[in-house]
């Protein structure tokens, strides 16, 4: 294998590892939410450093590849796309950490989160959109990338419904208020994950077609 191909494959492997770690962090944060698991949530916060290190490794490898080999236009777009999507994934890792922190805070006030079933459904949709966007990017599948938009719309609608439900719930004491606030913040954080997944889908379209297309006008 030519050295440039070897370096590109190494970059892709590191990127794939980052994508797996971020997807796992999101999944584990939602599992901690469902179980009200403060210990699991604390581990997610701790493991975020590993995600940051992987993103930095992707950035260093991509920068070195660009500087050393000066790839042709198509390969250049691939390397730049990996670099950009790695940044999106790192932010999603941060969002998983934020969800874990809210789980810990909610556990501390010892009050059930309102609209928990809807929040879990939002989490499942968010996992789905992230997995779909990563798969579309890996395959450079424009049709799959465009299919992200309806999922993003569903997430927006459900997030607004959760916020409305919390605002309409009786929050008669400090613990209930803090639990309601945690629910709203988790819902907003999941919506941000979906926004980042949509960015990945848009980057996929640009990678495959060299044209910019907004999926969330």
| Span 73-121, pLDDT tens digits | 568 889 999 999 999 999 999 999 999 999 988 888 777 888 999 999 9
Does residue 179 register a pLDDT over 70? yes
Question: What ranges do the domains of the chain cover?
Answer: 3-209
How confident is the model over 134-166, as pLDDT tens digits?
A: 999 999 999 999 999 999 999 999 999 999 999
pLDDT at 184: 94
Label residues 16-27 b or e (16+ Cβ within 10 Å = b).
eebbebbbebbb
Domain spanning 3-209: CATH 1.20.58.220 = yes
Grouping H, G, I as helix, E, B as strand and the rest as coil, residue 138 is helix
Does residue 181 register a pLDDT over 80? yes
d(CA 26, CA 117): 17
How confident is the model over 14-64, as pLDDT tens digits?
A: 999 999 999 999 999 999 999 999 999 999 999 999 999 999 999 999 999
Does residue 69 register a pLDDT over 90? no
Q: Which residues contact 19 (CB under 8 A, 6 or more apart)?
A: 89, 134, 138
d(CA 22, CA 29): 11
pLDDT at 171: 73
d(CA 18, CA 140): 18
pTM over 0.75, yes/no: yes
Say how many C-beta atoms besides its own lie within 10 A of residue 86's C-beta: 23
Say how many C-beta atoms besides its own lie within 10 A of residue 109's C-beta: 15
d(CA 166, CA 181): 8
Would you say 197 and 132 are in contact if contact means Cβ atoms under 8 Å apart?
yes
């Amino acid at each position: 294998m030519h050295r440039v191909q070897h370096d590109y494959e190494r970059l892709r492997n590191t990127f794939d590892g980052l994508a797996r770690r971020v997807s796992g962090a999101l999944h584990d944060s939602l599992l901690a939410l469902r179980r009200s698991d403060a210990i699991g949530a604390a581990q997610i916060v701790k493991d975020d450093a590993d995600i940051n290190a992987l993103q930095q490794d992707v950035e260093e490898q991509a920068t070195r590849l660009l500087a050393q080999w000066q790839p042709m236009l198509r390969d250049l777009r691939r390397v730049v796309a990996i670099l950009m999507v790695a940044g999106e994934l790192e932010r999603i890792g941060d969002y998983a950490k934020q969800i874990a922190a809210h789980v810990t805070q909610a556990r501390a006030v010892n009050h059930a989160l309102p609209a928990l079933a809807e929040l879990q459904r939002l989490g499942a949709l968010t996992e789905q959109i992230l997995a779909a966007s990563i798969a579309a990017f890996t395959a450079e599948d424009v049709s799959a990338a465009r299919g992200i938009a309806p999922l993003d719309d569903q997430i927006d609608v459900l997030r607004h419904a959760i916020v409305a439900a919390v605002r309409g719930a009786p929050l008669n004491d400090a613990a209930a208020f803090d639990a309601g606030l945690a629910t709203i913040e988790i819902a907003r954080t999941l919506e941000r994950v979906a926004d980042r997944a949509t960015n990945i889908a848009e980057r996929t379209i640009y990678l495959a077609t060299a044209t910019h297309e907004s999926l969330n006008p």
